A and B are shown apart, each in its own frame.
Chain A
Amino acid sequence: PHFIIRVPGKNDALCFNIDEDPGTVLRLIHDPVTGLTVHGEIIGDKVASADSKTRNTYFGKLGIANAYLDVRIEVTPEKISLWNGEAQSTFSWLDTVTVTQNGMTMAINRKKNIVLSFGDGVTFVVVLHQVWKKHPVHRDFLGFYVVDSHRMSAQTHGLLGQFFHPLDFEVSDIRPGLDPSKPVATMVVKNHQLKVTRGSQKDYRRDASVGVKVACWFIHNNGEGLLDGDLKDYIVPALF
């Protein structure tokens, strides 16, 4: 899956890919103060590519939990399950339904997205990407967007969560790359000097099939140097 990190102070964006084996579960957000955790499980194409560099991976399952509300939400391209304690509610992507309970609102917009709000100040959007059912290679997958995180604590971490705090970076020595349309540059971020490439990724919040191009500086090698610690630190054993 590809990650886009908007950096408002710079009016720019950073992006990176995470290439891990299907089945791997990644910690995207963890906030010990609000009790919110978001994990994502990776899936691959229907036919796995032998070459790990050309294989596509996506999020096929998202687990969103709020420990204080005792709420868990599991989203797959097939269904949406909500647990209140042990009691489970199941919804389909064909539903248009708003579920409201103390401290949380979940709005499923038929075949499009789920808007999930925890109180005032934390809002996530899960986007459903549907491909042709009989497509020989690709399969349905999910996108995850954080549209409001201002109530999340300073202790929030995770592949996405670490970027909820102010981030600074400097780009210099912009020069032509092998692909003339993708210049390369040197970036200094989190005390690391990285070689980055100018490119773009797509934001699919508005339309899951078209998407809006977001220009970004691409950090190679699974975001190495941009991400705190090692990628292995973000791998967790289970969705919840």
Chain B
Amino acid sequence: SLPEMVVDGIEVYSTKIHCRVTSRFAHNTVTTRATNRAETAKEVSFDVELPKTAFITNFTLTIDGVTYPGNIKEKEVAQKQYDRAVSQGKTAGLVKASGRKLEKFTVSVNVAAGSKVTFELTYEELLKRNKGKYEMYLKVRPKQLVKHFEITADIFEPQGISSLDAQASFITNDLLASALTKSFSGKKGHVSFKPSVDQQRSCPTCTDSLLDGDFTITYDVNRESPANVQIVNGYFVHFFAPHGLPVVPKNVVFVIDVSGSMYYQKLKQTKEALLKILEDMKENDYLNFVLFASKVRVWKDHLIQATPENIQEARAFVSNIAAEDTTNINGGLLRGIEMLKKAREEHQVPERSTSIVILLTDGIANEGVSRPEDIQANARNAIGGKFPLYSLGFGDNVDYGFLEKLALENNGFARRIYEASDATLQLQDFYEEIANPLLTGVEVEYPQNAILDLTQNTYKHYYDGSEIVVAGKLADKDMNHFKADVKGHGAFNDLSFTEELDAEEMEKARQEQDYIFGDYIERLWAYLTIEQLLDKRKKAQGEEKENLTAQALELSLKYHFVTPLTSMVVTKPEDNEDQTAIADKPGDDQVDVPPSSAVLVGYQPPQTPYYYVDGD
């Protein structure tokens, strides 16, 4: 080893990130091998930042050839182990939300002099299609130069890969070109990023690493047909992403918080984003603005068509929005909802159009109806399932849990807008995602009695560039004919797509299993089911919530997923005393609050006791 590669006695021999993606389902393994070259025991730590949408499925620790595997346990059981470890004076590293897209997994372990340690973390996620691409996001941040650093991705897509790209934010294009290879042909794609030690240096004579940033792989598949069904071992997944359809006109009401807390920067960014959004509005869309502080005021009494003249007027209105006073979310929201309902009832908007409420707020209701439960009930009752509500939570003080439930209860979703220089872009990005509905009222149907345990199969909207994914179990594992119908309403017509697989096609699909990890569709189904159960759980109460929790927990345990309901425990016997590591999953609403979850690693206390002197 080169002396410069040993930092504080520890040499990190290799770090390898291997991603195996089959039909959008990513199975990622991060492996780090290190050696303690010091003459005394040293603490070696292992940090991985993984997507918030991923579930850890395994973590193992191998010390001097002995592997300590991870076990998934119900969170409460793991918590007791955690508490016991803490009470025995062991320290804990924490898993917490890290930035916008990631959460951080940290483990450290004491390694004897001359010993070798291998950390291996595995996580899985279903890559979601957004604006026509699947994105796999990896954070790269080795603490020191690594002899063998490598990221590899093997992608297998039965539909065939239409594009593949990889980008690193931390390296110049010249260096990237020599360290990165990417290729795809037919159904297979491959990405390899393998910087040499010299390429990792932040400068030619530096011993610190420049590898610190985002590594992103993006790709898409061929779309000769709008749908694709894959069946393996009695489980199926049905992908549906039609294109080439005209956009359904939208009726959008922006319900915007203009209370005092939005003053200056947040309002400035909101206005910039709205001005950009107005530029992108299509002429057959309708819109209005509802501003709320202590009082509610509207731009127009009813929705207005996005003609060039009206857009010009809207721009002037947006430019003059000013912040004031307290926060009456309930008042603003109900005004917006009523306006959309009235527009439909009075035929002010095209019959074949879709309505959307977009709520943007940075705070907590403190004017009018302010109990979150009451606001949620009011919105739910007023909307009555007729159209979706999207919540955008701006900044750190927002009650994100409330906004998320509000959106989920009304067929929408919530997004956090991070208070940063790119907040304007974040808002625009959100809008672009929902700006192009191609279908509304989408229903995916399968023959009755043929399918069990179906994941969500109805969607209010299908947006251009996204993808609807439905998975389930076949009632008869050996069935040799599969049929699915997808119905939806387009801008001008109703469409009914049929996807059929005959015995021959099903056999061909089975043969393709040689290329893929065998139970991936079953795991994809389990992942999707757990994700949807957890979402439903967020808006459920009482017995329903308990049932949903029980179902999600059972699946998490069965499929070895670290979800918000489970923890992974790694126990390393040492000195007749168990050392315990626990991996948990923090929720998104836990940002900037003390995490209730942790990775704990058993840690040998320092040999020399510490003595404390306190001022009192």
Q: How far is the CB of B243 from the nearest CB of chain A, in Å?
A: 8
Q: How far is the CB of A161 from the nearest CB of chain B, in Å?
A: 26
With a cutoff of 8 Å between Cβ atoms, the chain A residues found around residue B497 in the complex are: 95-97
Evaluate whether A99 and B491 lie within 8 angstroms (CB atoms) in the complex, with A87-B246, A90-B244 already known.
Answer: no
For residues 478 through 508 of chain B, which have their beta carbon under 8 Å from a beta carbon of chain A?
490-500
Query: Does B495 contact A97, Cβ atoms closer than 8 Å?
Result: yes
Which listed residue, B224, B492, B495, touches A94 by the CB 8 Å rule? Answer: B224
With a cutoff of 8 Å between Cβ atoms, the chain B residues found around residue A89 in the complex are: 244-246, 490, 492-493
Judge if A52 is at the interface, Cβ distance under 8 Å.
no
Query: Does A100 contact B494, Cβ atoms closer than 8 Å?
Result: yes
Q: B227: nearest residue on chain A (CB-CB)? A: A95
With a cutoff of 8 Å between Cβ atoms, the chain A residues found around residue B494 in the complex are: 99-101
With a cutoff of 8 Å between Cβ atoms, the chain A residues found around residue B492 in the complex are: 84, 87, 89, 101
Query: Does B226 contact A97, Cβ atoms closer than 8 Å?
Result: yes
Total of A-B residue pairs, C-beta within 8 Å: 51
Query: Does B244 contact A97, Cβ atoms closer than 8 Å?
Result: no
Q: A89: nearest residue on chain B (CB-CB)? A: B245
Q: How far is the CB of B70 from the nearest CB of chain A, in Å?
A: 44
Give complex CA distance A101, B491 in Å: 10
With a cutoff of 8 Å between Cβ atoms, the chain B residues found around residue A99 in the complex are: 490, 493-495
Judge if A155 is at the interface, Cβ distance under 8 Å.
no
With a cutoff of 8 Å between Cβ atoms, the chain B residues found around residue A98 in the complex are: 495-496, 498
For residues 65 through 100 of chain A, which have their beta carbon under 8 Å from a beta carbon of chain B?
84, 87-92, 94-100
Judge if B225 is at the interface, Cβ distance under 8 Å.
yes
Q: How far is the CB of A64 from the nearest CB of chain B, in Å?
A: 15
Give complex CA distance A89, B245 in Å: 4
With a cutoff of 8 Å between Cβ atoms, the chain A residues found around residue B243 in the complex are: 90
Q: B246: nearest residue on chain A (CB-CB)? A: A87
With a cutoff of 8 Å between Cβ atoms, the chain B residues found around residue A104 in the complex are: 493
With a cutoff of 8 Å between Cβ atoms, the chain B residues found around residue A95 in the complex are: 225-226, 497
Number of interface residues, chain A, beta carbon within 8 A: 17
Give complex CA distance A89, B243 in Å: 8
Q: How far is the CB of A145 from the nearest CB of chain B, in Å?
A: 22
Q: How far is the CB of B447 from the nearest CB of chain A, in Å?
A: 15
Q: How far is the CB of B522 from the nearest CB of chain A, in Å?
A: 27
Give complex CA distance A98, B494 in Å: 8
Query: Does B496 contact A84, Cβ atoms closer than 8 Å?
Result: no
With a cutoff of 8 Å between Cβ atoms, the chain A residues found around residue B495 in the complex are: 97-100
Query: Does A91 contact B244, Cβ atoms closer than 8 Å?
Result: yes
Give complex CA distance A87, B494 in Å: 15
Query: Does A100 contact B493, Cβ atoms closer than 8 Å?
Result: yes
Give complex CA distance A94, B244 in Å: 14
Query: Does B499 contact A84, Cβ atoms closer than 8 Å?
Result: no
Query: Does A97 contact B246, Cβ atoms closer than 8 Å?
Result: no
Which listed residue, B246, B496, B500, touches A88 by the CB 8 Å rule? Answer: B246
For residues 151 through 167 of chain A, which have their beta carbon under 8 Å from a beta carbon of chain B?
none
Give complex CA distance A70, B499 in Å: 30
What's the dominant secondary structure at chain A's contact region?
strand
Query: Does A84 contact B225, Cβ atoms closer than 8 Å?
Result: no
Evaluate whether A84 and B491 lie within 8 angstroms (CB atoms) in the complex, with A92-B225, A98-B496 already known.
Answer: yes
Mark each residue of chain B from 241 to 275: 1 if its CB lies under 8 Å from any CB of chain A, else 0. Answer: 00111100000000000000000000000000000
Which listed residue, B224, B493, B499, touches A92 by the CB 8 Å rule? Answer: B224
Q: How far is the CB of A92 from the nearest CB of chain B, in Å?
A: 6
Which listed residue, A87, A97, A110, touches B491 by the CB 8 Å rule? Answer: A87
Which listed residue, B224, B498, B500, touches A97 by the CB 8 Å rule? Answer: B498
Query: Does B491 contact A96, Cβ atoms closer than 8 Å?
Result: no
Give complex CA distance A5, B497 in Å: 34
With a cutoff of 8 Å between Cβ atoms, the chain B residues found around residue A88 in the complex are: 244, 246
With a cutoff of 8 Å between Cβ atoms, the chain A residues found around residue B224 in the complex are: 92, 94
Give complex CA distance A99, B493 in Å: 6
Q: B243: nearest residue on chain A (CB-CB)? A: A90
Q: B490: nearest residue on chain A (CB-CB)? A: A89
Query: Does A101 contact B493, Cβ atoms closer than 8 Å?
Result: yes
Mark each residue of chain B from 21 to 48: 1 if its CB lies under 8 Å from any CB of chain A, else 0. Answer: 0000000000000000000000000000
Give complex CA distance A96, B484 in Å: 11
Q: B284: nearest residue on chain A (CB-CB)? A: A87
Query: Does B498 contact A84, Cβ atoms closer than 8 Å?
Result: no
With a cutoff of 8 Å between Cβ atoms, the chain A residues found around residue B493 in the complex are: 84, 89, 99-101, 104
Give complex CA distance A94, B498 in Å: 11
Q: B438: nearest residue on chain A (CB-CB)? A: A89
Q: How far is the CB of A166 from the nearest CB of chain B, in Å?
A: 35
Give complex CA distance A5, B243 in Å: 38
Query: Does A97 contact B496, Cβ atoms closer than 8 Å?
Result: yes
For residues 104 through 118 of chain A, which have their beta carbon under 8 Å from a beta carbon of chain B?
104, 110
Q: How far is the CB of B61 from the nearest CB of chain A, in Å?
A: 49
With a cutoff of 8 Å between Cβ atoms, the chain A residues found around residue B499 in the complex are: 96
Q: How far is the CB of A81 from the nearest CB of chain B, in Å?
A: 8
Query: Does A96 contact B498, Cβ atoms closer than 8 Å?
Result: yes
Evaluate whether A94 and B225 lie within 8 angstroms (CB atoms) in the complex, with A87-B492, A101-B492 already known.
Answer: yes
Q: How far is the CB of B321 from the nearest CB of chain A, in Å?
A: 33
With a cutoff of 8 Å between Cβ atoms, the chain A residues found around residue B245 in the complex are: 89-90
With a cutoff of 8 Å between Cβ atoms, the chain A residues found around residue B498 in the complex are: 96-98
Give complex CA distance A90, B495 in Å: 12
Q: B226: nearest residue on chain A (CB-CB)? A: A95
Q: How far is the CB of B481 from the nearest CB of chain A, in Å?
A: 14
With a cutoff of 8 Å between Cβ atoms, the chain B residues found around residue A91 in the complex are: 244
Q: B493: nearest residue on chain A (CB-CB)? A: A101
Q: How far is the CB of B10 from the nearest CB of chain A, in Å?
A: 56
Q: How far is the CB of B253 from the nearest CB of chain A, in Å?
A: 24
Q: How far is the CB of A14 from the nearest CB of chain B, in Å?
A: 37
Q: How far is the CB of B83 from the nearest CB of chain A, in Å?
A: 58
With a cutoff of 8 Å between Cβ atoms, the chain B residues found around residue A87 in the complex are: 246, 491-492
Evaluate whether A84 and B500 lie within 8 angstroms (CB atoms) in the complex, with A95-B226, A99-B494 already known.
Answer: no
Give complex CA distance A89, B499 in Å: 19
With a cutoff of 8 Å between Cβ atoms, the chain B residues found around residue A90 in the complex are: 243-245
With a cutoff of 8 Å between Cβ atoms, the chain B residues found around residue A96 in the complex are: 497-500
Give complex CA distance A98, B496 in Å: 5
Give complex CA distance A26, B498 in Å: 34
Q: A86: nearest residue on chain B (CB-CB)? A: B246
In this complex, which of B225, B493, B495, B500 has the most chain A Cβ atoms within 10 angstroms of its Cβ?
B493
In this complex, which of B244, B491, B499 has the most chain A Cβ atoms within 10 angstroms of its Cβ?
B244
Q: How far is the CB of A79 from the nearest CB of chain B, in Å?
A: 8
Query: Does A84 contact B246, Cβ atoms closer than 8 Å?
Result: yes
In this complex, which of A90, A94, A97, A100 has the most chain B Cβ atoms within 10 angstroms of its Cβ?
A97
With a cutoff of 8 Å between Cβ atoms, the chain B residues found around residue A110 in the complex are: 225
Give complex CA distance A90, B244 in Å: 5
Q: A88: nearest residue on chain B (CB-CB)? A: B246
Give complex CA distance A97, B495 in Å: 7
Q: B491: nearest residue on chain A (CB-CB)? A: A87
With a cutoff of 8 Å between Cβ atoms, the chain B residues found around residue A84 in the complex are: 246, 491-493
For residues 455 through 491 of chain B, which have their beta carbon under 8 Å from a beta carbon of chain A?
490-491
Q: How far is the CB of B118 from the nearest CB of chain A, in Å?
A: 47
With a cutoff of 8 Å between Cβ atoms, the chain A residues found around residue B500 in the complex are: 96
Q: A90: nearest residue on chain B (CB-CB)? A: B244
Q: B247: nearest residue on chain A (CB-CB)? A: A87
Give complex CA distance A19, B491 in Å: 41
Which residues of A approach B to under 8 Å, CB–CB?
Answer: 84, 87-92, 94-101, 104, 110
A-B contact pairs, 12 of them (CB 8 A): A84-B246, A88-B244, A90-B244, A90-B245, A92-B225, A94-B224, A96-B498, A97-B498, A98-B498, A99-B495, A100-B493, A104-B493
Known: A92-B225, A101-B493, A104-B493; 12 extra A-B contacts, CB below 8 A, are A84-B246, A84-B491, A87-B491, A89-B245, A89-B493, A90-B243, A90-B244, A95-B497, A96-B497, A97-B226, A97-B496, A99-B490
Closest 10 CB pairs of A and B: A90-B244, A101-B493, A87-B246, A84-B492, A96-B498, A94-B225, A98-B496, A100-B494, A97-B497, A99-B493
